[in-house]
Structure 1
Amino acid sequence: MTTKVLPPRRVSVAPMLDWSDRHCRQFHRHITRHTWLYTEMVTTGSLFHGDLQRHLEFNPDEHPVALQLGGSEPADLAHCAKLGEEWGYDEINLNCGCPSERVQKGAFGACLMAEPQLVADCVKAMKDAVSIDVTVKHRIGINDVDSYEFMRDFVGQVADAGCKTFIVHARTAILKGLSPRENREIPPLKYDYAYRLKREFSELEIILNGGIKTTAEMQQHLQHVDGVMIGREAYHNPYFMADFDALFYEDMTPVKTREEILHAMIPYIHRQLELYGNGGKGLRLNSVIRHMLGLMMGLVGARAFRQTLSDSKKLASGNPDILLEAFERMQTVTAYDRSLEVSSQ
């Protein structure tokens, strides 16, 4: 059996609920070939009682791709991790960082940081069940317990169970009083916690997450930790990832232009619509298109591009050529803007 050679986790795109689905990951893969991609969090209950294909299916060219699980029962997580391996994922990640009330009611997510032994038991059960990596994504603390020592002890106990990779969202999770969005913005970032963790546990792989928006910031962080994980910036400004392969993986293969990405996505969308149907309970065109609204961010005409892709009547037609129409409209706006520049000179 040939061992799959995977790139290092120097850069990854965070699991983002309702965003990082397989269509989003397919789109991102046209921008960066080596960056690790993560699924939305999938709960163990969804896999026990839901549609496995819906939750686990992904496109073959998404690799390297990781499945993030939400749960707190070791046996259930072991079963679901095994499913993830059987479906072809390259990594199983345990969510110990989500602060939403819905997740708390399920007794998992960030509240698990208060139970390091349970997390260790979960990790051990999953590692015993699969041959791929089992990793943990966590916060630096919960509520008013946010000392470095608290996080260090959590990581140390879970590492003893066999986890070698920790993704540190460098904010405390406030479990009452803040929404998930506020939890991503209000608690202060403490990158030094992750830096110190790497110094103290040099044998572990430490990946930093939280508030990272530029390649310059990424390069700075990589002087202290093994990897960086990008969240909202990768979604809202996806073409920012176009430099990742060259900067972080020494791959100088020419990157697709924005226009080339649009053309590459059209046959993909056609295939998805043929397989899963357009309208009704099947796949809708907007299920894919919505992830691409930020592709032109920062360019003249980006607003016209977004407006076209948000036109409900055009989306209802189910024709992926709306991508080309949006690009052409953007070009018209750009040309008009340039003509105004010339005439004013």
Structure 2
Amino acid sequence: MTSEAADRTKPMDPERVMFDLAMNVANQGGFIYVGEDGKARKWEIKGSGARAFNDLFHALYAKGLLPGLPNSKITGPQDVDKLIGPELIQVNGEAAPFTNDRLAVFKEFASSNAWAKIASIVDYARQDENNFTFDFKSVRDIASAFPISFGQDPLYKKAALLPILFANNANTRGKNVTVSGIVAADYRLPQTLHSIGVLDFSPELVQRIENEEVMSPDDLMVVQMRAASIYACDLLSKYTGMQINEVDAAFWKAMKDGSLQPLQEEAVLEAQRQGRKITLKQMLVPTFSFAKIPPIFYPTVAAGAAAAARAMLNIV
């Protein structure tokens, strides 16, 4: 998010914060990619893919190259390739991973009706000046309003993440935001849930991860573990009484402050006692938007991956 939208010395502008977050979230992804040697590589700064893009995001803002924002040099989609394209070339001369996808996102936010779409999404959630409620319709509306940026993934990872991040920001700025949609499930959330024993991966999946196999976003195991994560977090929300954004924030905080580690160590030992294995290695799924999932999976996804999801759970 830009410094102007994050300025806590001024009253919060919900539409501006949502617009900033939306443009950022839409570009968050594609940090793992396949190099010329066929092996997985990571676009990162100091171990963080998100930081790699956020540094670029702030550099674009400083140069007036974020579309849709005040004083932007981007007057429309036609300016994006010429003005933003060169900025996606890294210091080593290589283009940032998924450059064409990122340019397509910026073009969508450079369209003349992008602000109106964001305002409509915020208005739907607004109960009054200080209270907002986002539900699953909000998630679907985000995906529909920005089909390139948010609508290509049938599991709505980025579309689900946007209200969660808005809530996490606004709830620290005097607003009351609740989120009753779904959790944002990529390949990191399943990994976290597996590491503490919530998701039970099959021996085959564990071995593929241990072998550092590059997995396609439309791989059935990837689809199933993402769907299982959504189902698991929905149950966690119901059992704990926490909103989805609070569940997401709790996992994020636990990873950052180290409190997740004792749970991981306990889960690994318990799995060993039961003759199972928990892997702590990172999954390698090179994708920008999970757009490769074919329509044949949509009914399964919509049902929460039914038996496949339930079979992976250890919380019921």
TM-score after normalising by structure 2:
0.32
Higher relative contact order (CA 8 A, sep 6+): 2
TM-score after normalising by structure 1:
0.30
- Higher fraction of strand: 1
- Higher fraction of helix: 2
